[in-house]
Amino acid sequence: MTDLIIKEALIKYSRYCACREVCATDLKKKILMDKKLQVTSSEVEKIIDQLIDEGFINEERFASAFVNDHFRFNKWGKIKIRYQLRSKGIQEDYIQTALNTIPASDYKELLKELALKKWDKLASEDDIHKKRMKCANYLSSRGFESDLIFSELEKL
């Protein structure tokens, strides 16, 4: 019976993984929450190991896709991206390799774009110091490095 459940789960989740990049941590949570399967943690480990062996789960590929998507679409900085990947249990060397794929010019351009938008939204703020701090806090919450933030704010 257990082998049948594992085979059913492998079919279901191999299809799921074929449609999107996923990491082992997220998939473990998803499988454990699947009320239809009702698998034990050891069975989940077998399923995950099998999906890794068959190439459906690849954490290096996941890190690369995650970095690209969250930089381009969510407009996150490297600090926030790194934090999220670490929380998913992705190896540091995969994270660093993926972050290195972000072109420095694109990164600085995004920071500049976000800083200008926030600066313009704070037009009603009269105190320049408060305006800078609010802008810096916003950019910091997006995951950008403080030295780059203050360098960009000096230009405004």
- Distance between CA atoms of residues 154 and 156, nearest Å: 6
Give 100's DSSP letter. Answer: T
Distances (CA, A) of 145 to 12, 100, 150: 41, 15, 9
- What tens digit of pLDDT does each residue of 19-60 get? 999 999 999 999 999 888 888 888 999 999 999 999 999 999
Place of tokens 């459940």: 5
pLDDT at 36: 85
Distance of CA 6 to the CA centre of its chain: 29
- What tens digit of pLDDT does each residue of 55-93 get? 999 999 999 999 999 999 999 999 999 999 999 999 999
Domain ranges of the chain: 2-57, 60-99, 104-155
pLDDT at 12: 93
pLDDT band of residue 126 (cuts 50, 70, 90) is confident
pLDDT band of residue 1 (cuts 50, 70, 90) is very low
